[in-house]
Structure 1
Amino acid sequence: MRFRSTIFALAATAWSGSAERAWAITGCDAFSAALRTEASDMQVEFGRAVVVSRTRSDSNVFDVTTKVDVDATLSCRGDEFLRFEARIGEPANARTNTNFERFQTAALKAALGWDAGKSRGVLRAMTADAREYLAASRERGDVYVAGKTEEHQPGGVSLGLMATGSDRTFVIVGPAGE
C-alpha cells in the first residue's frame, strides 16, 4: 500500500511539474528571438536603454522599437524575464490599434507560448475592461483619470493593461518581476 501511495505522489509531482513548465514564462533571449520572429513585419529591434537611477540594479533594460507606432521596454536579470511593457499614444487611429493588438499577441506568444486565438480573446477582454474603467474614471472626475485591468496567470505571471487619455500600456510581468 505504501508503495502505491509513493508512486501516486511521484506521478502527481511529475504531472504538476510538467503542467507548471507548460505555463512558465520564457527566458529573455528566447523571448527576444520569438518576438522578432512573430512580429517580423514590424521590424522589431532591441537596444540597450539608458537608465538613470539613484539605486544600483542588476537588471538589464532594453528599448524595443518597431517601424509601426508601437514602442516597448524589456527588463531582464541575466536571462530571467522580469517585465515587458508595450505602449502606444492616444488617441490612436485604427491602424495603430491593429498594430498594437498584433504586437501584444506576438508578445504573449513569445512569452507564454499562447496561440493567437487565446491571446486575442484575453486582450480584447482586457481592452474592453480598461476602456470601461477609463470612462468611469472620467465620469467620477478622478484626479488621475485612468483605466486599469489585470489578469494573473499560472506560474506567477501577471498581465496588465492601463489606459489614459494620452497612452495605452500593456504589461507582462514575470514571477521575479513583481
Structure 2
Amino acid sequence: MRRDLLEVRRSLPADVVAATGEALARRAPELGELAPYLTGPPAGWAGTAPTVAGYVSVGGEPATGPLLERLRAAGVRVLLPVLLPDNDLEWALYEGPERLVPAGWGLREPAGERLGPEAVTEADVVLLPGLAVDRRGVRLGRGGGSYDRVLARLERAGARTSLVVLLYDDEVLQEVPAEPHDRRVHAAVTPSGVHRFSG
C-alpha cells in the first residue's frame, strides 16, 4: 500500500502539489482547534494563541508552506521537526521560509535554537505527515517510525493534543493496516474539507 501511494504522489505535477497546499491553508479554519486564531477571535476573547507542531513538506507531499505561513501570520507558535541521527525528532521554532536550511534526505529544517524532543508535548495541535488515513482515524505513515515516537511521547506526557494528518482527497480510505501500538488521529484535512474520526 505504501509503495502504491508513493507512486501516485511521485506522478503528481508540481502545480497540483502547490494548489493542494493553498487549499489546505484555506481549509484550516474549519478545524475548530484553529478557527479562533485564523478567522479572528470572538469579541471579549482573552485567550492566547496555541502552539502547533507542523512539518515542512517534501517531494509529492501536500505542500505545507502556505499553511505554516498562515499560522505564523495569525500569531500561532509553530514548531517544526529536526531529524536526529536515531530517526527521533526534536523541535525548533518556525521563523519563516527564509530561516529553513537544507538537511539530510532532502529535508529542510528550521535554523533556530533546538528545543529538544519533549517540546512537542507543548503543542495543542500536531500536524502529521502521512500517506493515508482510514475512517477509524488509523494513519498510514512512511514506516520510518519517527512520528510513532512523537505520538508515544505525547501519550506518555498525558498531552491533550489534537492529531491532524494532511492528505490529498483520495488518500482518505475505508481501511489501512493497523498495529496495536498505532495511535489514531482525530482529523484529516484535505482540499475538499476536514474529516473527523470518532476513534
Normalised TM-score (structure 1): 0.26
Q: Which has the higher helix share?
A: 1
Which protein has the bigger strand share? 1
Structure possessing the higher radius of gyration over alpha carbons:
1
